Structure 1
Amino acid sequence: MSQQTQRGFSRRTIIRSLLAAGAFGATSRLWTGCTAPPQQAASPTPTAEKPLTIGFIYVGAKDDYGYNQSHAEGKAAVAQLSGVQTVEEASVPETKEVAETMRNMIKDNGATVLFPTSYGYFNPHSLQIAREFPEVQLFHPNQPYKDGYPKNVGSFFSELAEPAYLAGIIAAYASKTGKLGFVVPKPIPVVLREVNSFTLGARSVKPSIVVQAIFTGDWSLPVKEAEAANSLIDQNADVITGRVDNLKVIITTAEKRGVFSSGYHINQASLAPKGYLTGVEWNWGKIYAQYAELIRAGKTLMNGGIPPIVAGGLKEDFCRLSPYGAAVSSEAQKAAEAARAKLLDGSLAIFKGELKDNKGNVVIPSGISYTLQDPKLQSMNWLVEGVRGNP
C-alpha cells in the first residue's frame, strides 16, 4: 500500500533461522486459479549451506499498527522455518526506488523469492524486475492476475471480505444511531469488495443501517484520516472503521470521542480498551510459510509446481476476526458465529442477487450469486446500496 511521507533511511535486517519447522502439507483447495501445466523437473532444493533467501518490502513502517506490520509479522513466521533466511526493507515508496530495492536484494543478498507487499509496486516495477531476473519469483498480495504476465510472477489473495462481513454484523448490533463510518483510501476492487461486504453484514442485521464512507485518496494520510473520523462522528456515526494502512489515528480518535471502533490488518484492541469491538486480520504467515515449503521442495511458478493464483479465506486460515471486545454483546457474538459457520460450510454467499448499488442500479440479478474469486467481483467498481459517499 502507499504512503505519502518521505522515505527515511532504512537498514536491511537479515534474520537467519535455525528452528526446525513442522511438517507441511498443502491441500488442493487452497490453490485456485489457472490449471498448472505438466510438471517439469524440480529445481534444486536449497541446502543448509545455501538457504532459501526471501525478500520482503513494505511501503510503510513495519511497526505501524496496520498493513505493513501485518506483513512484518508474517515475515517473522517464515523466519522460523529451517533453511530459510529473510531480508526486509521498510518505507519504500511506490516509485522506481522499489525496483532498485528489489535489484539490491537479488544481487547483494542472493534473494530468489520476493514479496513486494504494496499494491502499487506491481506495475510497472515488479513486472520490470520479473523480466529482468526470470529466475527470481515475485509474489504479490491482492493483485489481480492476468494471462500474459511473466511466468515468474504470482498473485495471492487473503479474502478479507469474509471477516469484514462478520465485523459488519458486530458493528450493527453495537450501533444505536443506525450510522456506521468507514474511512476508505482508494477505490480499487479489493477495497470496494471489503467496504461492500462490511455493509452487507451490517444490513443483514439492520436493513436500514447506513455506512457513511469518506475517501482520503491515499493509503496513509494521518491528518486526513483524523479529519475523516471526526467528520463521521459529527454525522452521528457511532462505529468507526477504515481500510487505510494504519488505523491508529482512526481508532484512538473514536476512543477519545466515546464511540465504538472496528479494526483492520492486525488486532488493535490495545488502542481502544473501551470501544474496540473486533477487527479484520490478515494471516500472511500461513501463506508465506506455504510458499516457502513448496519452493524448498523444488516447486516453482516456472515449472508449474506453484499455480499463478493462490486464494483462501476463513476456511483456509488465510484471515481471521479479532477477538471480541468487552462491549460486544452475547447476542452479537452468537449472530456473528452463526454467520461464520455458514461462510465456512459454503451456505452463505455474501454477494447474491438481487443486489443494487448505491445509485439504484441492479449489479447482481435475482437468483445469481458470486464466489469471492469470481472475475465480476475482482473488477468491482461500485458501492452497494446503503453506502453513502463516493470517491
Structure 2
Amino acid sequence: MSLHRRPLLALPALLGAAALRPARAADPFRVGFVYVSPIGDAGWTFQHELGRRAVEAALGPAVKTAYVENVPEGADAERVIRRLAQDGNQMVFATSFGYMNPVEKVARAFPKAKFEHATGYKRAANLATYSGRYYEPRYLTGIIAGRLSKSGTIGYVAAFPIPEVIQGINAMLLGARSVNPKAVIKVVFTSSWFDPGKERAAADTLVAQGADYLTQHTDSTAVVQAAEEKGVWCSGYDSDMLKYAPKTHTTAVEMHWDDYYIDRVRKAIDGGWTSGDVWGGLASGMVKLSRFNPALPAPLLAEVAAQTEAIKSGRLVVFSGPLRDQSGAVKLPEGKALTDPEILSMNWFLEGVQGKL
C-alpha cells in the first residue's frame, strides 16, 4: 500500500517545487544583420543599425539580434551570412547590393530560414528584397542645389555605376534643372561604398573642376567634411550629416528602416512572413530629407516642402518626359513616365550629366 501512497504523498511537494520554478520562456527569435561598412555615427550602415536597435526595443525578449559590420562584398559576405544561419539565426538581413549572389546562395542552403536583401532584385520563397526610392528625395536636393549653386555645377561623388546610383544622379539633375535649366552634374566614381580617402579625393577634384555644390552616393562623411573646408554647399546621404558640416550641409537624403524591420521580424515570428519586394518612397516614410540647415532661406524651404507634397501625392513624377540621354537622343517623350522596371534597370545618364558609365 505504501508503494501507492508514496507517489501520492510526494505529489504536493513536487507541485510546490514546480510552482517555485518559473515557466521556461520560449526561445527568442534570432535575427542577424550584415553591414558593408563600420557602424560609426552616420551613413548607410548606421541607419540599418538604428533599425536593428529598434527591433530589439519594440520586440524585447521575443527577439535576439546579432550583427557583423565591415563585411566586404563577395566571398567574405557569403561566409558571414552562412555562419549567421549556421549559428541559428532564423532571419538574416543582408544590407548591401553586392551581397545579392552570396545571400541567394546561402538562402538555397537554408530553406527554413528567412533572408532579406537590401537593394537587390533576386528573390526566392525564403528570400525577399527591399529598398527605398532614393531618387525622390534626390530630386528635392537637386532643387536646393539648383537654387544655391552660383556656377550651376554640382559635384557628385558616386560609388558604382549601378541603377540605384544612376537614378539618384539623374533625379538630382532633374531637380536642379527645374529651377536652373543650365545646371550640370559632374560625376566621379570611387568603386567603393566606403573609402573616406577616395571620397575626399573625388570631392577635391570636383571642386577644382568648378563645382560649388557637392553630394554623394557613398557612405562616409568625407564629402561633406570636404565641402565644409572648401566653403561650398553640400547635401549628405543615408543619414543626417549636419554636425560634420554645420555651415554648408543643407540637408541629407535619409533612410528609415525601423518600421520595416520591426514589421518584417514580427511577421516572421507570427508566421505571416512572405517573400516579395518593397520599394518605399517619400509617401511611405522609408526615405525623407533630414533636418535643414538653419541658414537656408524660407522661400527655398517652402518650395522644397511644396514639391515634397507633390511627389508624395503623385502630382509630380520625377522621371517624366521629355528626357534625353547624354547623346541627345530622346529616351522618353513628353507626356510619358518611366515605369518601375525601366527605373530599376536605368543604365544611362541624362543630358547634362558629365561622367562615363
TM-score normalised according to structure 1 size: 0.82
Q: Per the alignment, in what secondary structure is the counterpart of residue 327 of structure 2?
A: coil
The answer for the alignment partner of 1:327 in structure 2 is: 295
| Contact 1:170/1:328, CA 8 A, preserved across alignment | no
Contact 2:200/2:223 (<8 A) preserved: yes
- Is the 2:227–2:234 Cα contact (8 Å) retained in structure 1? yes
Conserved 8 A contact 2:124-2:275: no
Q: How many residues are matched?
A: 332
1:189 aligns with 2:157: no
For 2:257, the aligned partner's letter is W
Alignment of 1:86 with 2:65, yes or no, is yes
In structure 2, the residue matched to 1:213 is: 187
Matched ranges for 1:169-318 at <5 A: 169-246=143-220, 248-300=221-273, 306-318=274-286
Alignment equivalent of 2:91, drawn from 72, 95, 113: 113
Q: What is the root-mean-square deviation of aligned Cα atoms in Å?
A: 1.5
8 Å CA contact 1:276–1:327 kept in 2: the answer is no
How far off is 1:96 after superposition?
2.1
C-alpha distance in structure 2 between counterparts of 1:351 and 1:170, whole Å: 18
Task: For 2:217 and 2:226, locate their aligned partners in 1 and report how far apart those are by CA, in whole Å.
Answer: 15
Distance in 2 of aligned mates of 1:317 and 1:355: 28
Q: Which has the larger radius of gyration?
A: 2
Say which structure, 1 or 2, has more relative contact order (CA 8 Å, 6+ apart): 1
Mapping 1:40-51, distance limit 5 Å? 48-51=25-28
Letter in 2 for 1:358: Q
Q: Which residue among 324, 330, 350 is the counterpart of 1:384?
A: 350
Q: Aligned residue for 1:65?
A: 42
- Looking at structure 1, the residues matched to 36 and 190 of structure 2 have their Cα atoms a distance apart, in angstroms, of 17
Unaligned runs of 5+ in 2: 1-23
Q: Which has the higher helix share?
A: 2
Answer yes or no: is 1:130 the counterpart of 2:102. Answer: no
Following superposition, the deviation at residue 221 of structure 1 comes to 2.7
Distance 1:205 1:155 in 2: 35
1: CA distance, partners of 2:91 / 2:302: 42
CA contact (8 A) 2:159 2:192 kept: yes
* Percent identity between the two aligned chains: 35
Gaps of 5+ in 1: 1-46, 301-305
Question: Which amino acid is 1:50 matched to?
Answer: D
1:307 is displaced (CA, Å) by 4.2
Displaced runs of 4+ in structure 1, greater than 3 A? none
Counterpart of 1:54? 31
Distance 1:107 1:143 in 2: 23
SS at 1:205 equivalent: coil
Alignment of 1:353 with 2:321, yes or no, is yes
TM-score by length of 2: 0.90
Q: Any conservation in 1 of the 2:237–2:253 contact (CA below 8 Å)?
A: yes
SS of 2:58's partner is coil
Structure 1 counterpart SS, 2:141: helix
